[in-house]
Amino acid sequence: MSSSRNLRIVEFDVASGVSTKQFIYQTESLADINARVPDDPFGDNSQGRNIGISAIIALNDKEFLIIERDNRGAGVDDPTGAAPVARKRIYKISIEGATHISALDLTGSNDLPVGVTPVSKTLYLDLAGVLTAQSIPLVEKLEGITVGKQLDDGSYALILGADNDFSVTQNDDDVQFDVCTDGLTAQQVGLDRACPAGLSLLPSYLYSFKADGLKYMQPQAVREPRVAMLMALGLAGIGTMRANPRKSK
């Protein structure tokens, strides 16, 4: 797994399935992330591993929302959320003007290659900051994002999801367990067994925010080439059948 802050965004031609362009997306620097958690910083190999991106959604043909997160917060590995969270953020990005870089090798490098313009990005929502200010629990695996219906004032509902692995973890022998907690203590129990009194499974979370300033275009269905070809062959067969009807005996 790469330890680089330089990630690739790959553009595909939906009709052919062929990759047409690639762009560099730079995650937040490790120095800036660790400045928020000086007493428990992330290691040098954290970029692209336990610090990275977990979801992306298209707003239009140029702009996207993307989640950058660390692997901290309440979850199966830290049920009580004891480790300090450094980053749960949503950025709005644009590929317009970014350099096409499919021929470049980015392995292990945190530096931006000479002459390359990455996708532009601006902080859209500091989720960790907002939730902490409202005393709402921070969960580890924030990894779902979608744009909901447009509201009466022209804004949109921005929906974020975290499933906490449905409270399932496993040991080194790949034996799975459920995780039970009261927020202060935690213990593992066999899958589908009841939690001890006073404990419960880790919940999944859905967060909804009012999103302003989004140039959002509803996605349009695109027929897969193979499906389209099968439909064309099927229609051609029907036409042949109609053109050559069988005579009844």
Confidence of residue 15 (pLDDT cuts 50, 70, 90): confident
Task: Please tell me which residue, 53 or 224, carries the higher pLDDT value.
Answer: 53
pLDDT averaged over every residue in the chain:
85
Residues 41-86 have pLDDT tens digits of 999 888 877 888 999 999 999 999 999 999 999 999 899 999 999 9
What pLDDT digit, counting tens, does each position of 154-172 carry? 899 999 999 888 899 988 8
Sign of CA dihedral 107, 111, 113, 119: positive
Q: What is the pLDDT of residues 87-106, one digit of tens each?
A: 999 999 999 999 999 888 88
Residue 234 has pLDDT above 90, yes or no: no
Q: For the chain, how are helix, strand and coil distributed in percent, rounded to 5?
A: 15, 35, 50
* 83, 67 contact by CB (below 8 A): no
